[in-house]
A = this chain, B = another copy of it.
Amino acid sequence: MIVVMKPGATKEQVAHVVDLVKDYGLKEHVIYGTDRTVVACLGDKRMVDKGAIENAPMVENVVPILAPYKIASLEVKKEKSRIEIGPGKFPIGGQKVGVIAGPCAVENLDQTLDTAQAVKEAGCVGLRGGAFKPRTSPYSFQGLGVEGLKILAKAREETGLAIVTEVIGLEQLGAVVEYADVLQIGARNMQHYPLLEAVGKTNKPVLLKRGMSASLDEFLLAAEYIINAGNSQVILCERGIRTFEKYVRNTLPLASVAALNDRTHLPVVVDPSHGTGHAKLVGPMSLAAVAAGADALIIECHIDPEHAASDGAQSITPKALKDLMPKLKRIAKAVDRDM
């Protein structure tokens, strides 16, 4: 942390800042420049709220130097984590790029089994599907609940696919852990800390979606909550951020994939469905995501998107998924991955 003093700060004012720095358990190092005096603070142990020093007289600003996360960092663990999911123990973060697909919501048994079959045949490794749905409107379909979980388990039984499904609260956690292979934390819950800690106490892999306005630091700190609670099987998922753009539901910033690969050992998955909001953009962005270094994709696929109970506009058909897979494979090869 660097404290920058305003020009004209007196010796006493600098001394006052030095005292504050010591109060916070840090060692100070004062540098007298031509325009500014600067107090470098050593020994930062990532305790975060020293911005309070900004309130001291004649302090111009306080600049953090260290990244705030630790155990999610590449500094602590150099090699990429491989996280095995489902009956097939497919390793997310390994040499192979995996594709997880399925409907936004589990609507009924037939829809789910038919989709699962198509997803399996296309060569995917996991089935996604919501049993508990966090919906923006209280008047929207809220999911089948435990009944939906049972349908997903049935689909796993028939296909061997890993089941990825969202947990939206502590109340449902037990049920979701019982049936699911991967616990999804949705974008809206990325900073719901009690839930992060709770999934951190389970032994199931967690797919953590980036909040729609979360910085990478905040995203990695959310992962850190889970790891810190005891569960290191965290899979990061970029699903797009909210910007001024209107032709998409979210802006999908694929540079985050490369930037995360440069900061953390955790695998990175991309969701091109929420990341764009339109079925016709899903294909190109899936290809781009793999080219950018994604370890896996999670794609919304529905047997009848025009009648989907939710997210119809961004769901692709089983046929579109089947056509996409060989192209993805070629891209994976081009970046020295397999599929």
Which A residues fall within an 8 A CB radius of B? Answer: 2, 4, 7, 20, 23, 29, 31, 33-36, 38, 40, 42-56, 62-63, 65-66, 68-69, 75, 134-141, 168-171, 188-189, 191-195, 212-213, 215-216, 218, 221, 224-225, 228-229, 241-248, 251-259, 262, 275-276, 278-281, 283-285, 287-293, 305-313, 315, 327, 330-331, 333-335
Contacts and interface: CB of A to CB of B under 8 A. Distances in A.
Given A53-B306, A141-B49, A251 B259 contact: no
Nearest to A45: B139
B42 A33 contact: yes
Contacts of A66: 35-36
Given A215-B244, A251-B251, A334-B327, A225 B194 contact: no
B291 A287 contact: yes
Q: Interface centre among A20, A43, A242, A246, by most B CB within 10 Å? A: A242
B244 A63 contact: no
Given A52-B307, A137-B48, A305-B52, A4 B65 contact: yes
Given A52-B305, A55-B312, A327-B334, 10 more contacts: A33-B43, A169-B195, A171-B194, A215-B245, A244-B244, A259-B281, A287-B335, A288-B288, A291-B331, A331-B335
B170 A171 contact: yes
Contacts of A279: 54-55
Nearest to A189: B192
B243 A255 contact: no
A323 to B, nearest CB: 13
Contacts of A33: 40, 42-44
Contacts of A171: 170, 194
Number of copies: 4
A77 B98 CA distance: 39
12 contacts: A47-B139, A49-B140, A55-B312, A56-B306, A62-B313, A69-B137, A134-B191, A138-B228, A215-B247, A245-B256, A251-B255, A291-B291
Contacts of A7: 75
| Interchain residue pairs A-B with the least CB separation, the first 5 | A52-B312, A213-B213, A330-B334, A291-B291, A258-B284
Contacts of A225: 138
Contact of A55 (B56, B75, B215, B306): B306
Nearest to A260: B247
A305 B23 CA distance: 13
B251 A136 contact: no
Contact of A254 (B68, B280, B285, B309): B285
A31 B42 contact: yes
A48 B290 CA distance: 32
A133 to B, nearest CB: 9
A243 B247 contact: no
A213 to B, nearest CB: 4
A311 B330 CA distance: 34
A312 B242 contact: no
